[in-house]
Amino acid sequence: MSHFDSRDDFDPTPHDTSADEPAEATPAEVDGDGVVADEQEGDGLVRTLPDTLANKIAAGEVVQRPASAAKELVENALDAGATSVELHIGRAGSDLIQVVDDGCGMGPRDALGCFGRHATSKLRAIEDLERLHTLGFRGEALASIGAVAQVELKTKRRQDATGTLVRVHGGTVEENRPCAAPDGTSIAVRHLFYNVPARRNFLKSAATEFKHLVETFQFLALSHPRVGFLLTHDGAEVYRTPVQSDLAFDDALRRRVVQLFGEKYEGHLTPVEETTSYLSMRGLVGPPHLARRTHGEQFFFVNGRYVKSRSLSHAVAAAYGEALASGTFPFFALFLDVDP
Ligand code: ADP
Ligand code: MG
């Protein structure tokens, strides 16, 4: 049994999210908390952390703030082939981060299993790493988010008559039952870091956290211009960008830029395209006269994944040459593709 099959071993017993390690991986006995039992009194200083604690620690890397949780959830929706993704935020993400998609959904086993450590459907063997075209594959996001928030998952596959509801609070499964649900998945993350006060206190002002959420929404909505997106905050619509699955990527992107950043870009975006033997690049760049004083509207995507890169920004600025006033930053959305 491969280590990556952990979702198959995932123990569906409520109140225990820990038993997702293959038995043969640990020769010592594993007790109910996933802690390796002390073999010798007075010697056993080295312990295996219970998964609930390990997930809580891992959450520090995966989820720094509401925006990072939102990113993970939306990326999962995109990986699930959604044509439409809704992101609902309550109180700058401290009360609610909910993502609703119309993607492939999950069956009852995966609906519970996806909260396990290293639970992923995207990677089975090390060779897969060279072929991966999805946004996630480490299987850490949901385990981490579930460890530090109150999560409600509702999901249904098209072929199933009923859906599944799973509630995980602080890494503990509180509820797991069949339920009525539309095709696709809804994950509501409430009270992020409610059980990790140090992290909660580390969050910035609501305005700052919401700014990060908007930026995250913008780059996700740009990266998949044919997918429809909706962002709401405390029940009010912030952005609604339509499904554009009938458009070619470039046309969809051009419209998406205007939907997100305003009419001012209408008719002012220049397509760029370049293909070499090892990479291809395409996208849109804005005119020098609409360049701004901040980096806020500059987007690079490498194999569909948003990256911030000063050197790439400099390279673009250099290409504008004299046309660009110093200290100003033109709009661009550039997609670089290289063999994974
Ligand atoms: P990763 O994305 O790295 O695989 P995650 O913890 O983000 O890990 O998700 C675990 C698994 O749960 C995914 O591999 C996928 O099979 C399933 N999953 C998560 N979100 C969704 C979703 N919105 N729709 C369908 N399946 C999902
Ligand atoms: Mg993921």
Specify the pLDDT at position 43. 77
Instruction: Give nearest CA residue, ligand 1 atom 8.
Output: 139
- The low-confidence residues of the chain, meaning pLDDT below 70, are 1-42, 119, 122-138
Q: Which ligand is nearest to the CA of 80?
A: 1
Specify the pLDDT at position 32. 38
Our answer on whether the CB atom of 116 is closer than 6 Å to any ligand 1 atom is no
| Residue keyed to tokens 């604690």 | 53
| Helix/strand/coil for 112 | helix
| Residue keyed to tokens 């929404």 | 217
130 backbone dihedrals φ, ψ, rounded to 5°: -80, -10
At 20-48, the pLDDT tens digits run 334 333 333 333 343 444 445 567 788 77
Our answer on whether the CB atom of 185 is closer than 6 Å to any ligand 1 atom is yes
Å from CA of 263 to ligand 1 middle: 36
What is the length of the chain? 340
At 157-172, the pLDDT tens digits run 999 999 999 999 999 9
At 209-229, the pLDDT tens digits run 999 999 999 999 999 999 999
| Helix/strand/coil for 231 | strand
Q: pTM, whole model, 2 decimals?
A: 0.84
Our answer on whether the CB atom of 120 is closer than 6 Å to any ligand 1 atom is yes
Specify the pLDDT at position 27. 37
Q: Which ligand is nearest to the CA of 117?
A: 1
Specify the pLDDT at position 262. 95
Neighbouring CB atoms inside 10 A of 246's CB total 8
Closest atom of ligand 1 relative to the 185 alpha carbon: 23
Å from CA of 121 to ligand 1 middle: 7
Our answer on whether the CB atom of 114 is closer than 6 Å to any ligand 1 atom is yes
Closest atom of ligand 1 relative to the 140 alpha carbon: 6
Rounded CA-CA distance 50/36 in Å is 9
Specify the pLDDT at position 214. 97
Å from CA of 108 to ligand 2 middle: 18
